[in-house]
Structure 1
Amino acid sequence: MVFRRTHTPHPAPRPDTPAPRPDRPWTAVGMLAAATFAVVTTEMLPVGLLTSLGAGLDVSAGTAGLAVTLPGLVAAVFAPLLPVAVRRADRRTVLCALLLLLAAANLLTALAPAFPVVLAARLLVGVCMGGVWAVAAGLGARLVPGPSAGRATALVFSGIAVASVLGVPAGTLLGAAAGWRVAFAAMTGCALLVAAALAVVLPPLPAEGAVRLGTFPRLLRAARVRWLLITIALLVTGHFAAYTYVRPVLERTPGTGPGLVGALLLGYGVAGVAGNFAGGALAARHPRRALRLIATVLGAVVLLLAPAGGSGPVSAALLLVWGLAYGGVSVSGQRALTAAAPEAPEAASALFAGVFNAAIALGALAGGRLADGPGLTAVLLTGGVLAALAALTPAAPVRDAHGAVTSP
């Protein structure tokens, strides 16, 4: 008698089986916030270290400023290209690799013997910025789906606001006490820790569909996506045209010394953190309406700062409202674009990151031209008008993933 071994076949996985969820989804979302914190702190750290960095490498402050401009321009290009390059790679692996690259870029900066080496390192920072923004922006809703998706997205973007409030000031203080190289070395350690934590805390996050270059023209053919990107470009360009020169704007107010300016900017950052979560709560229900409200408030505040220069209390109050409004820009813009393109959320995030970073560079450049020419009043008027124009862009009907029209 011949006995045949029978095998019970394992059932084939269903194609619609959801990706594994982490045991602690909010911890995973918190680590995504840590990733945005690390990349934005690295991006903006040279702002507080320009003088010492320039002196240490024997270049002028203006030349040292390229360490701030270059990453933004590179990020604008790489944000849409990186999702295409990584295609179906697990997004956990991609994020860990980007944080390791960020650590290498910071270490290269800390050890740089000459300024061209710093610029090479900052180019790598731009790649990391574009990649982290494009990949991480939409993951909060995947990790915590449903009604809490808006809060999860807000938490991911809170890393940007916390970087402004804590990361950059802490790095500046460390640089003043121990040297600019030590500040960048500290960010090397921060990026390594975040990379390790992401590897442990995040679940596997397979791509929801390979992003191809042809996806972007298809998205841009949709009027709702085009107008949202125009809104974001106007709003962010106007903000950075004015905010890049907010220190000299405040310093022209009688009785406002360096200590008070620092306190006011800290208050601005704290208000930005609050605005991030307030904007996220509103954007979860009405993303387009949230963005329009933010643009209206921000435009009005920046325009009012021009005649308020003679009053310290009025200028301080306007600055806090400015921070509260701008804190909601990132999360509201991300939510609005995701709602406008539910069929391609990662491609929409990549477009958002590219336009956002290009607008940062354009706004800072325009503000500089105006500050050196007509003066600070022209800077504020231009920034306020651009933000106000963002509030006037038309809205197109937005449909959710099931095809139902949602409130704009």
Structure 2
Amino acid sequence: MKKIISIILTLSLFVACLAAVGCGKEPSAEAIILKNAPTVTSEYGEDLKIADDGVLSVKYSKDKKAEVKVTLKMIDVSSFNKKSVEEQTLKINYGGKSVAFTVKLVRKASSVSIKEAPTVTSVYTEVPFAIADDGVLSVNYVGGESDEIKITPDMIDKTSVDITSTAEQDVKVLYGGKSATFKVKLIFEEENNEGEVKTFRFEAEDAELEDQASTEYCGGQKRADGSEEQCVKNLFLSSVGGKVTFRITSNKKTQAKITFCISKQINGHHVLDDMSTLTVNGKTVDTGITLDPGDNTGGWWDWQTYEVEAVLHLIRGENVIEFATNEMSGKAHYDAAGGKNLNYIELATTGTLAWAKKAA
């Protein structure tokens, strides 16, 4: 009898263990996103080593989400070449899904010099400094070997560049503990607001989403092609909040007006700036929006558009527009049972805009 009871107890514990997705077994994931790539701490010639700063955003079944630390065991090191100074792509595997990140080992140098200065592609002031891939660095390694390698953006010491200055500057290239410089002179560009004002729409579900932000269908709304419209939810329903990032390019330095399309609220706090932050190229913009509470009939599929009074200043090239909520924005959390879903943003400007949608 005791033996039977022991067997039953063992089986019960086994079933409970499986149900809890525990017992050391890695749970299955529906999707993973690399929130922060791990820092590679190994030097040239060493096996792969990483710091403990890598983080995965994981989506499980039933819309459950969590952040998981990246460990060395998760990384497929079969393709890792410890004696290469070229950029390498490695895979992180977790829960049956995989995501890639890049690794570049640096070999210690005794001296470096610029053989071919890279072409500066960000020729105007106030534009993030960028270079083409045509620069060449001559390197003498510790131990006597030498080589010529491509100058890549990660080698540029951004602190050596003043993107607000039109004076000639020395841009520093760092590699293997040594440095060399090349000269650059940026051009000042006046803000150009001439031309016809056009409106460009950017759907929130196609933007980069972080933390609790996720997508769902918008109550039967249809797109122009007949497919069902989506929106971004869960921005306000937890203290963590979320972030929606739009990366939008402009063909010139110009002004723009932004409009939000947000669902009406059954209840919850209504002053948007109290619980969210809008930033454009790192600068905070007050929206001045007070959300329409609705009338208890439309729920979170009853949409309202809000034009922000403040003028946005776009730069030539990529503009980063971020909308963060609750803890992600540093603001206090307010309960909002009505939803506060984000449908899209629109920018009205004389520039020509385009954007990089998130990977499917």
Q: Please tell me the TM-score bracket, short chain as reference.
A: under 0.3
TM-score (norm. length: structure 2)? 0.26
Report the structure, 1 or 2, having the larger strand content.
Answer: 2
TM-score (norm. length: structure 1)? 0.24
